[in-house]
Homo-oligomer: A and B are copies of this chain.
Amino acid sequence: MADLVKVVPISGFPEWLPNVRLVEERFISIIREQFQLYGFTPIETPAVERMEVLTAKGGMQRQIYTLGRPAEGNSETGLGLHFDLTVPLARYVVQHAEELVYPFRRYQIQKVWRGEKAQRGRFREFYQCDIDVIGRGSLDLIHDAEVPCVINSAFSALELPEFQVRVSNRKVLGDLLSVKEVEEDQLIRVLRAIDKSHDAGAEETRQSFEEEEVAPELIPAIMELIDCETIDDARRALATVNAPTAGLDELQSVIENALTLGMPESRIRPDFRIARGLDYYTGVVYETFVRGHEDWGSICSGGRYDDLASYFSKQKFPGVGMSVGLSRLVDLLVQSKLADVGHNVPTKVLVTTQDRSNYLDKYLGLAKMLREEGISTEVYLEPDALREQIGYASSNGIAIAVIAGDSEFEQNCVTVKDLEKREQETVPQDNLINYIRSKLAVAKDA
């Protein structure tokens, strides 16, 4: 026999055991349900795109995994794995432009791949859950307020710990720099310096602005701006250099509309250090942090792009969206012991089979009855002793075992064993559903 192939994990490609995967899958279901509740419609795009599509904007090029077909002599197929869901969306909208209805509100929950260094909260393969609203020609600013509200609903339904969406608008810095002449590429370099200011000291940040040749009289205003926590404070900072306030007015309107749309005040605030989205975004930008776990980085980011598909079409498709970094979020919650990972299986009830040769029909009948009530039920089908069957249920975190043999079936009863409380009771079969329902309801409340 040939040597065994060694089996080892692949760095950066997370693989959960069933207990964590159950959490991830429940999260995806809840997020999907919330997105649909707001009328977002699902799309999926292939995992691959043509390389010219992926690289149209530059930027992420270094991180792309390409596809080869060596068996056919093609080390290159011209295809690569997508690194986000925004480039595929842009391509999708252009390709199907005439078949879509605008505003086009889509969600997309898929894995993406990035060949970067794996580290905590940063994977090479991970789930993104995106929502975007795409207009044709124009898109009202109120969508910029709705998008974080949808995310708020999703995170509330997930029963996440407290979180906060931080919002900025890259036009605010543009307005400030516009007091002196400013080129687009200088603006982008200054935004990058602001992005780095999270980890840098004040003096270092100031120096970086000098290096980017920001007019010296503007630097104190920028330094003041990036520390502001309210719109009013930012107004004062802009006022020190008589900068225009169009960007800030827009930001204020987005935050006020979000409150009208039901966003709790504690969950949204301006943060002028948020400078992400150099590549796509042209207006509002968002990042979202779990309170007390800001060091994990943003778990949901996005923004407004005035022209999503400029590389693929002359038509203008403005859009706004956010993307949940689901794999990071799950990892954060599990590592921080904030997620319930006590169960290996979805099963609520194990029907044991202590006397399969006589009663298989009856065991299967009990399971059928429970499943018809939507109760996840497994029949133990291996020829093992009852003790082992109960052990199987315990190891998997199954709450309830149903046990029956001669004495129970003679009386049309079954014994229900509560494996958490370690107690059991014999109940009439007619009453089994109600009895188990009440048990499961208690377990859920506990």
A155 at the binding interface (Cβ < 8 Å): no
Contact among B52, B64, B146 for A381, CB-based, below 8 A: B146
> Is A261 in the interface zone, CB < 8 Å from B?
yes
Distance in angstroms between the alpha carbons of A392 and B136 in the assembled complex: 13
Contact with B along A55-79 (1 / 0, CB 8 A): 0100001111111111110011101
Question: Is A13 located at the chain interface by the 8 A CB criterion?
Answer: yes
Would you call A260 and B364 a contact (CB within 8 A)? Answer: yes
Number of interface residues of A (CB under 8 A): 107
B381 touches A143 (CB 8 A): yes
Q: B residues within 8 A CB of A128?
A: none
Asked if A39 meets B347 with Cβ closer than 8 Å, knowing A111-B47, A140-B382, A396-B101, the reply is yes
- Copies of this chain, complex-wide, total 2
A44 interface residue per 8 A CB criterion: yes
Q: A17-B96, A312-B5, A381-B146 are in contact. Are A65 and B75 (CB under 8 A)?
A: no
- Alpha-carbon distance between A378 and B37 when the two chains are bound, in angstroms: 8
Min CB distance A156 to B, Å, is 12
Q: Let me know if A41 is at the binding interface, CB within 8 A.
A: yes
> Are B79 and A344 in contact (CB-based, < 8 A)?
no
A4 to B315, CA, bound (A): 11
A39 vs B400: C-alpha distance in the bound complex, in angstroms? 13
User: Is A377's CB within 8 Å of the partner chain B?
Assistant: yes
Q: Given A7-B53, A101-B392, A146-B381, A42 and B69 touching (CB < 8 A)? A: no
Chain B residues, Cβ within 8 Å of A49: 10
B48 touching A101, Cβ below 8 Å: no
**Across-interface contacts of A69 in B (CB, < 8 A):** 64-66, 115
**Residue of A261, A350, A392 with most partner-chain B CB within 10 A:** A261
In the bound complex, how far is the Cα of B396 from the Cα of A9, in angstroms?
45
Nearest-CB distance from A358 to chain B (Å)? 13
Q: Check: A15 CB closer than 8 A to any chain B CB.
A: yes
A171 contacts the other chain (Cβ, under 8 Å)? no
Query: For the complex, what is the distance from the CA of A8 to the CA of B39, rounded to whole Å?
Result: 28
| Contact digits for A115-129, partner B, Cβ 8 Å, 1 yes 0 no | 100000000010000
Q: Quick check: is A106 within 8 A (CB to CB) of the other chain? A: yes
In the complex, the answer to whether B125 meets A10 with C-beta atoms within 8 Å is no
A103 to B41, CA, bound (A): 38
* A163 CB–B CB distance under 8 Å: no
CB distance from A420 to the nearest CB of B (A): 17
Q: For A244, list chain B residues within 8 Å (CB).
A: none
> Which segment of A283-291, A294-302, A368-376, A425-433 sits at the interface?
A368-376
Q: Which of A131-170 contact B (CB under 8 A)?
A: 135, 138-140, 142-143, 146, 153
Contact of A25 among B42, B52, B115 (CB under 8 A): B42
Contact B38 A311 (CB under 8 A): no
- The reply to whether the CB of A361 lies closer than 8 angstroms to some CB of chain B is yes
Q: How far is the CA of A4 from the CA of B314 in the complex (A)?
A: 8
- Does the CB pair B382–A103 fall under 8 Å? yes
In Å, the complex CA distance between A7 and B376 comes to 45
Chain B residue with Cβ nearest A57: B5
Instruction: Considering the complex, give the chain B residue whose CB is closest to the CB of A346.
Output: B36
Q: How far is the CA of A69 from the CA of B115 in the complex (A)?
A: 7
Considering only residues 371-411 of chain A, those with a C-beta below 8 Å from chain B are 371, 374-379, 381-383, 392, 395-396
- Flag whether A105 is at the interface (Cβ < 8 A): yes
Can you name the residue of chain B whose Cβ is closest to the Cβ of A396?
A: B101
Question: 20 interchain pairs (CB within 8 A)?
Answer: A4-B312, A4-B313, A5-B52, A5-B311, A7-B95, A8-B95, A10-B50, A10-B79, A18-B100, A37-B371, A38-B378, A39-B376, A47-B81, A62-B72, A67-B81, A68-B68, A71-B115, A140-B381, A146-B379, A260-B361
Which of A's residues lie within 8 Å of B, judged by CB?
2, 4-10, 13-18, 21-22, 24-25, 29, 32, 36-50, 52-53, 56, 61-72, 75-77, 79, 81, 91-92, 94-96, 99-101, 103, 105-106, 111, 113, 115, 125, 135, 138-140, 142-143, 146, 153, 260-262, 311-314, 344-347, 350, 360-361, 364, 368, 371, 374-379, 381-383, 392, 395-396
Of all A-B residue pairs in the complex, the 8 with the closest CB atoms, nearest first, are A39-B378, A39-B347, A13-B46, A62-B71, A36-B346, A41-B345, A66-B68, A18-B41
